[in-house]
Structure 1
Amino acid sequence: MLFDVLPQTAYIFILIFSRIGTLFMLMPGFSERAVSVRMRLILAVMVTLVFFPMVSSNYGSIPVTLVGIVAAMVKEMLIAAVLGLSVKFIMAALQIASTIIAFQLGLSFAMGPDPSTGQQTVQLNTFMSTLAITLIFVTNLHYLMIAAMYDSYEMFPVNQMLPLGDIAEYATQILGDAFIVGLKLSSPFIAYGLVFYFGLGLLSRLMPQLQVFFIAMPANILVGTVLFMMLLVSMMSWYMGHIEAVLGRFIVR
């Protein structure tokens, strides 16, 4: 009897781990390069053990072929990718916003490695990304991520086909929302840059012998930095609310 139960238990555990493990590889905060792969693996296994008694009844018997087992695993990872990439795209909106802000403030030349991806990016993006991840854990939004993991079993039942058309439409929508969020976050600095550089252009026409742009660069950085400090709290509060709204789409109320 024990040998009859073990294969079924192992099959269900692997499928749950496929979904949870993929989510931990994509979710912000858990998927950062600073978090070791071993730590992510331990967290994924622990959450899988917690979810096992709650969601194991949703799974059926073991498929008779290896292709059926692989197809079930791919389906679980695809469901996790929909949830994980949704939040990943919203985090990418922060990179868009920080790049625009750094360009408007004259700080686009200050480059450094991104702790999330390891690629070169503006230092302002490193600061805002680190702050966003910190706020996710401070405001307990990581609990909302775990709740979305659990409710994904109700939103995407195991024994039903995936709505690929709806998933493709949602992916297009969330990608467009990322650009909109990035523009909204940087919109005060776009307006500031237009006014500031319009004034410099007008001044350069009135005093063509003066190197206006060279002299005004320190003032641009100073005023822009002060404006950034004044708006940072409002920007990040609104941004955290948007992340909560995205995760709320996967919460079954």
Structure 2
Amino acid sequence: MDIFNFNPETVFSFWLTFFRVSLVVFLLPFFGGEAMPVPIKAALCIVLSLALWPHLSFDAQYFPEHPAQIAVMIMGELVLGLILGLIVHFLFAAIQTGGDLIAFQMGFKMMNVVDPLTGLQESITTQFLYMCSMLVFLSINGHLYMLMGLTQSFDLIPPGGLFITPELINQIIYYSSQIFVLAFKIASPIIATVFLVNLGLAFMARTAPQMNVLLLGFPIKIAVGLLFLSLVFQLISLYVSGFISDLGGTMYNLLRAAAGPS
């Protein structure tokens, strides 16, 4: 008699759900960032697994029998988490690249700060735009769309069922190419205005050579750049809102491509 009512299939089903939730959550932005302590992330994975398991779970038959097959399955789950996380990382990478272009135009590349999330040195405008975009992302429930992509993966990709298809690669390449397009759109107002300032300073240097244009140009470019930086906040909110409105469909298309031929 089984006094503990132990059912191996139930345990294997829960472990499959826990593998999917933990490996994906640890690689998603905001949830898997280095700023969040590991015990908190582990507790979040356990809570999400317990919450999703009665409603979204895998059958115990998907659990591999050989340890090598278990390792391959875990690697597939890891790649799935990377794919889902890359799409959101592309957005923030575009904003950070735009902030780097703005810092170069305003003369802020000489002053760097340490990013507490990555430990890398970044310009002031890069870090500032990143924090603002993260606040906008969370305020309009972008993190919930990431969890929605996690729940969609249960229906589309079983454990060990990930395929690296040409369609999936083409989609990732397309979204990665949009980093530079979006970065230029964000930085274009300040690039244009600072160019006009430099053009005016060049005419001033020709008409009054005795003036120290280099010393005069730094505060002017900084003042004009900060003035037009307020316009960039509106652009970021529009781009982040548009990105999140399409995030559900984007993740669904990626998961469909990763599911392989039906």
Distance in 2 separating the partners of 1:51 and 1:155: 16
Q: CA deviation at 1:64?
A: 2.5
Q: CA deviation at 1:120?
A: 0.4
152-161 vs 21-30, greater mean Cα deviation? 152-161
Find the counterpart in structure 1 of residue 154 from structure 2.
153
Letter in 2 for 1:93: A
Q: Deviations over 1:107-147 (max 9, x none)?
A: 22221111221110012222222222222222112111111
Aligned residues: 251
Is 1:26 aligned to residue 22 of structure 2? no
1:133-212 equivalent positions in 2, closer than 5 A: 133-158=134-159, 160-212=161-213
Letter in 2 for 1:117: T
1:52-201 equivalent positions in 2, closer than 5 A: 52-57=53-58, 60-158=61-159, 160-201=161-202
Find the counterpart in structure 1 of residue 259 from structure 2.
none
TM-score by length of 2: 0.85
183-192 vs 59-68, greater mean Cα deviation? 59-68
Distance in 2 separating the partners of 1:179 and 1:27: 22
Q: CA deviation at 1:251?
A: 4.2
Distance in 2 separating the partners of 1:245 and 1:118: 31
Unaligned runs of 5+ in 1: none
Letter in 1 for 2:82: A
Determine helix, strand or coil for the equivalent of 1:56.
Answer: coil
Distance in 2 separating the partners of 1:247 and 1:205: 55
Q: CA deviation at 1:232?
A: 1.4
Identical pairs, percent: 24
Letter in 2 for 1:90: L
Letter in 1 for 2:205: S
Relative to structure 1, the CA distance from residue 75 to residue 148 in structure 2 (aligned partners, 3 Å threshold; closer, same or farther) is: same
Distance in 1 separating the partners of 2:217 and 2:73: 61
Distance in 2 separating the partners of 1:231 and 1:62: 49
RMSD: 2.3
Verify the 8 A CA contact 1:115 1:126 in the aligned structure 2: no
Q: CA deviation at 1:22?
A: 2.7
Q: CA deviation at 1:46?
A: 1.2
Find the counterpart in structure 2 of residue 241 from structure 1.
242
Determine helix, strand or coil for the equivalent of 1:121.
Answer: strand
Unaligned runs of 5+ in 2: 254-262
Distance in 1 separating the partners of 2:39 and 2:194: 45
Distance in 2 separating the partners of 1:234 and 1:61: 46
Distance in 2 separating the partners of 1:174 and 1:54: 32
Q: Which structure shows the bigger proportion of residues in helix conformation? A: 1
